[in-house]
Chain A
Amino acid sequence: MRRYGDSKRIRDSVAGYLLVTLAALLPVRIGAAQQTPSPEEGLKVLPLTVQSVAVKGALPLNDPLSKLWGQAKEVTVKLIPQTAQEPKLAKASIGTVRVRALHNDGWVAFRLDWADPTADNNLRSDKFGDAAAVEFPMKTNPLPDYRMGSEDKPVHLLLWRADRQWAKQSGKTFLERNYPRAHSDTYPFAPRAGEDKIANQPERDQYLAAQAAGNPIVPGIAPIIEELNAATWNQLSVQTHQDARGIGVHRNGRWFVVFARPLVTADANDAPLPSGSLGLVAFAVWDGGSEHAHARKMVSEGWVRLKVK
């Protein structure tokens, strides 16, 4: 256990004073294994390049196992636990992610694959879905912190979540999935068998507050690949225009996930990536089985160079 800040009781006690002094003299401080990285580390550009290969015709946007991916060179990116912001990830779980990229005249697609023996795509109070994200700087000069950007230097994110994919593909709720025999005497304004489902929609929506408020993350409504912008840890916004495409497949203990986006759009919140350009990209992976979520994640060690030509 660690005491934050300037504790009055420790400061006022002789024992506390000795403890603090002793701790300062120790060559390795307790808890030093998880020191907060410096701001400069967020600007690190790794000596790695993802080279996107040009393809004529359609990209395999909905097929992470397409043979076309074999045309692209694979780059292995090391992942480390996120430790820049509390809550930090205490224990590493997924060590690397393999990246390939293809593009055509209009789109660029990334395929990420990583080892995860369990396909976690369930959602209930104690279950978390696997996920991954691809991040682009809105501008490369000055370069934003690859760890969710910074207040004046935002980033553009593509987020895939296995649970949202399950909800979208199955058309079911997680309530039905986890408790198929659950019975409730009545739901207010719920349609009875044979009734028009649209009737009383506004009244029914009141009992699904997040949905009524227009929260874009509602399972079944949220896209499989979600486009967001971030301007530091707690400044996250879901884009109004959702252009991204993609899907994930779990095969032989690995996730294979496609993230695709138009190279250039009219959306000012999309990071421009014109054909022929040199850009940067960063990656994050969440292991739902280890209860990873939000800042509890595995991240690349910095920006990775990206060539789209």
Chain B
Amino acid sequence: MPHQVFNWQINRKMDYWYPEARPQRQWAAVFDINKCIACQTCTIACKTTWTSGRGQETMLWNNVETKPFGFYPTAWDLRILKMLGAQKWGKEEYEGDTIFEAAPEGERYLGYRPDDEDWAHPNLGEDECSEPIEKGAYLQVPHAVWFFYLARICNHCTYPACLAACPRGAIYKRQEDGIVLIDQRQCRGHRECMQACPYKKTFFNPVTGTSEKCIGCFPAIESGMQPQCFTNCIGKIRLHGFISLPEKAREDNPIDYLVHIRKIALPLYPQFGLEPNVYYVPPLHVKEKFLVQMFGPQVEAAKEAYMKAKDDPTLLGCLLLFGSTPRIIHSFKVKGETAYAYDDKGGEICRVPLKEPVYIRPYFDEARAVHRHNIS
């Protein structure tokens, strides 16, 4: 029978299959959607590291899809949103049903299993705009239509639906870092996790007969390094770290600072009730209604704070640390015109200037008696 647990993202207690048991620290990430160009370097970094074996051909633990018409697997969020039906955010808390509370009779959750073909079109809807472009519209600013790129990995949820659903107890959440793993020795391939995960981030390997998922690059985490899809991101949109509970947020923890203190990074579909731990800086140019459905009612406030980051040295410094080091940043500070990042022992990892230094050289090079051209 389900238990009552507290989910801070919906600010209320909710039903979950197991009692509340938070790990010692929780694996977390912030993705700045505004910086993503869908180059898929993250996708390939993950693919070549973890899923290039037989049976993993259509398996993308990391994918980047175009919203509103991109999905992997096909229509994953539309389908679960439709099943859940219209729900309501109140002023203080989410007033609708989570997928656990909306479970049909005899089930542990509300969910569906995609068809095999749904995994075959990872670039469906790529670069498609929200609506047709009128003639001449490209001249207008801001643009009349929009799309954005949504990079997705496993959310290593605090209340994973996959874990709740597994009838054999083969899925577990690591106490040391909150990473959610499928025990490859214990899994019996029932695919209940695929049906339960609303983000559709568990996959079936027909060669081994087991389900597989993102492992949060735990060998890297154990070595103090950020995961592959973070360190290979050429747009520097990702920051990995550990998140605290809101009441225990530390101002010098970059994840806490962005999520709890400045509140510019928001969870994906918090209304599902899983307390997902990948947080997104919402895209500035997208219609509010769409974003509220996706990230909750704090979207406008988040966008507003993000817009002011250029005049906010601490926030700017924190954002500039994204992609600045392959190592996990446990704390940071901004002093003067520089942001500093530190490891878990307080040792400095890297420093980043708030403003890139600019050197302007004279057009004419006196020493060589030549004009400089901007070609090299």
Residues of A within 8 A of B (CB): 1-9, 31, 34, 83, 86-90, 123-127, 173-175, 178, 182, 184, 186-188, 190, 204, 206-215, 217-219, 222, 233-236, 291, 293-295
Contacts and interface: CB of A to CB of B under 8 A. Distances in A.
Interface size class of B (residues with CB under 8 A): 35 or more
Contact of A4 (B2, B55, B191): B2
B188 interface: yes
Contacts, number: 163
Contacts of A86: 106-108
Residue from the set A34, A233, A234 with the largest chain B CB neighbour count within 10 Å: A234
Given A2-B103, A234-B167, A175 B190 contact: no
Given A124-B116, A182-B57, 11 more contacts: A1-B104, A9-B12, A123-B189, A124-B206, A125-B115, A125-B206, A173-B54, A173-B206, A188-B53, A215-B184, A217-B210
Nearest to A6: B4
Interface in B147-183: 165-169, 183
B185 interface: yes
B115 A126 contact: yes
Contact of B116 (A127, A188, A235): A127
Main secondary structure of the interface of B (DSSP, over half): loop
Given A126-B115, A234-B168, A294-B190, A174 B184 contact: no
Contacts of A295: 167
B257 interface: no
Nearest to B183: A213
Contacts of B194: 125
A182 B58 CA distance: 11
Contacts of B191: 125, 293
Contact of A174 (B107, B113, B169, B206): B206
B101 interface: yes
B235 interface: no
Contacts of B55: 173, 175, 208
Contacts of B203: 125
Given A187-B52, A210-B184, A215-B184, A1 B100 contact: no
Contacts of B15: 3-5, 7
B57 A184 contact: yes
Given A86-B108, A127-B116, A293-B190, A208 B103 contact: no
16 contacts: A1-B110, A2-B105, A4-B15, A5-B2, A5-B15, A87-B167, A88-B106, A125-B204, A173-B55, A175-B55, A175-B57, A186-B52, A207-B52, A209-B210, A210-B210, A215-B187
Interface in B93-137: 95, 97, 100-108, 110, 113-116, 119
